[in-house]
Amino acid sequence: MSIDLYYTSGSAPCRLVLLVAAALDIQLNLHNVNLREGDQFKPDFLKLNPQHTVPTIVDDGFSLWESRAISRYLVNKYGGDDSELYPKDPKARAIVDQRLDFDLGTLYPRFAQYFYPQIFGGAAPDAAQLKKLEEALVFFNTFLEGHKYAAGDKLTLADLSLVATLSTIEVGGVKFDDQPNIVRWYELVKSTAPGYKEANEKGINEFKEVLKMIKAKAEL
């Protein structure tokens, strides 16, 4: 069993799919999509994903995009009947879904709204946007109170999604040292998520290099 993944290694959503595949021991055929060169607008890619976004997978002719939808699909199809990554119990699954939606709708967007205008638009840091991001980190710290992982006592899709985002926030220079539950959780997930170094840390290091190049060009 092998699945095609169209991705960009620096992207947090793409790294989520890599983390899920590592946890499920799924073999991926990796296809790098150079967003800066416009690979996402090529006709062949648009046939797979008219929204021209990454990550996108193709599994035996079935095309799917949006990282959290991909993650749920992979666990539902390949995780077996009792996968702890996405539990079957309705209440336990609902908590995982809530954390995934928090990442999708709150944490990552607030980071993007604060950070990307600075890097890609040359804007000055926006104190109001930073305050919103810091508020989201407080929310997440509160979610973790009394829990080993993001959605309970087991590693789930919620942890893999959130760690991809949080590691990107860290690279962006935003500190969360004053959120002890996040600090504890972050170290735990880095040490227990299967294949973390290859699936997430490698891409984070590549993202750092991209940021260095962008900053160097801005200073010329």
Span 172-195, pLDDT tens digits: 999 999 999 999 999 999 999 999
Residue scoring higher pLDDT (81 or 133) = 133
Mean pLDDT over residues 152-163, rounded?
A: 98
Domains of the chain: 2-78 (3.40.30.10), 90-216 (1.20.1050.10)
Span 97-115, pLDDT tens digits: 999 999 999 999 999 999 9
Question: pLDDT value at position 217?
Answer: 66
* Cβ–Cβ under 8 Å, residues 88 and 82: yes
Average model confidence (pLDDT) across the chain: 94
Residue 220 banded pLDDT, cuts 50, 70, 90? low
Mean pLDDT over residues 75-100, rounded?
A: 95
Mean pLDDT over residues 44-49, rounded?
A: 97
In this model, does residue 56 exceed pLDDT 60?
A: yes
Residue 1 banded pLDDT, cuts 50, 70, 90? low
Mean pLDDT over residues 162-177, rounded?
A: 96
Give DSSP secondary structure letters for the chain.
-EEEEEE-TT-HHHHHHHHHHHHHT-EEEEEE--GGGTGGGSHHHHHH-TT--S-EEEETTEEEESHHHHHHHHHHHHS-TT-TTS-SSHHHHHHHHHHHHHIIIIIHHHHHHHHHHHHHH-PPP-HHHHHHHHHHHHHHHHHTTT-SBTTBSS--HHHHHHHHHHHHHHHTT---TT-HHHHHHHHHHHHHSTTHIIIIIHHHHHHHHHHHHHHHHHT-
Residue 84 banded pLDDT, cuts 50, 70, 90? very high
Mean pLDDT over residues 195-206, rounded?
A: 95
Provide the greatest CA pair distance for the chain.
56
The backbone torsions φ and ψ at residue 47, rounded to the nearest 5 degrees and listed phi first, read -65, -35
Supply the residues annotated as catalytic: 11
pTM above 0.85? Answer: yes
Question: pLDDT value at position 121?
Answer: 84
Residue scoring higher pLDDT (216 or 175) = 175
